[in-house]
Each structure stands twice: as C-alpha cells, then as structure tokens.
Amino acid sequence: MDATPEQLTRFQVFMKAVMEAADQGGEVTAPDGSRLRIAKHPEPGVELRVEPSSGDPAGLNMTLWEPAGERPDGYPADAPFIPDVAVYVTSWTYEGESLSQVQWQDVDDAAVLMQQVIEKSLAEGWSRVPSPEISPIAPLQMVQLERGGQKRILIGAGPAEKAFVIMSDTKR
C-alpha cells in the first residue's frame, strides 16, 4: 500500500486532534473507532506517547521524541535520526501490512532536512526511483526510494517556519 498525499494529510489532521486531546491526558478515539491511551512525558526524551488502550501492538503506536543531539534509547533502528529536531515516529498495521511513518514538523527548511534523510537512506542501501508528479501549484517536494521490496516515500513542504517532512515506509 502506498501512502498518498491525501492519506498523509488526513493522518496529519488526526495527529493534531491527538495533540489537542493530549492536554487532557487519558484516552482518545481513533478514526477506526479504537481507543488510544495518551501519556505526556512518560520517560526522559519523550514528549508524548500514544498506544492502543487494548495493548494490541498492531494498533496505532506513536512517540513524539524531543530534540536530542544523539539517537535516544528506544528510537527505531530503521528510522533515520536527525539530531536536534523533534520527531513523531508512528507505526501501525493495515490489511496485514506493517507500516511506519516519521514526521518532522516546524523545521527551518524542508528541502535541507529531506536531503539529510535521503543521504542517510542511501547510506543504508535505499535507492532513489522516479517519483510521481505533484501539482506545481502545491508547495510540495516528493521523493521515492526503494530497498528490496520496500518503499520509502518522502514528502516535504515549506522553505520556512512551519515546514515539515513526512517519511512513510511500507514493509513487504
């Protein structure tokens, strides 16, 4: 399953609702109707953790890592680490496929951060492949990478404040 820009936007809207609900603590209902437990500052270096109330590891799991100079303990080995930038790391299962997404928000320059992620990915054996065209009206940049049957899609927007980069992986 390839994530489309529309799916990524819907996910971003959902994550905004989670952040608003996080101020209350407790639980929130996900778009699929499942209940998610939200914990603020559950451990050093983690600003927010969202996990299924049921404890089901296949459900939505999300951690918001605070900016850090070095890769924190528990940070996923398969996700590029960019020093000194806060990052959401999310995983879930959809139709039996394990998916993950990494999202850097409020970055100074999306193009610079995307280049860092691309370089780290290439060093880990990913290859750049032709990417789908994006409307020239939209201020988006899209890059697609592949490694052994896996796909990694990078989408970045914004050259200034409020810029973001989203990386979605499929694991097949």
**35-43 and 127-129 as β-strands: parallel, antiparallel, unpaired?**
unpaired
- C-alpha 130/C-alpha 38 separation (Å) is 38
Rounded to whole angstroms, the Cα distance separating 16 from 12 reads 6
Distance CA 146, CA 7 (A): 20
The model's pLDDT over 71-121, given as tens digits with 9 standing for 90+, comes to 998 898 889 999 999 999 988 776 677 778 899 988 888 888 999 999 999
**Could you tell me the pTM of the whole model?**
0.77
pLDDT tens digits along 20-72 = 777 666 777 776 677 888 888 888 999 988 888 876 666 778 899 999 999 99
Cα 169 to Cα 151: distance, rounded to the nearest angstrom: 6
Give the position of tokens 């939505």. Answer: 60
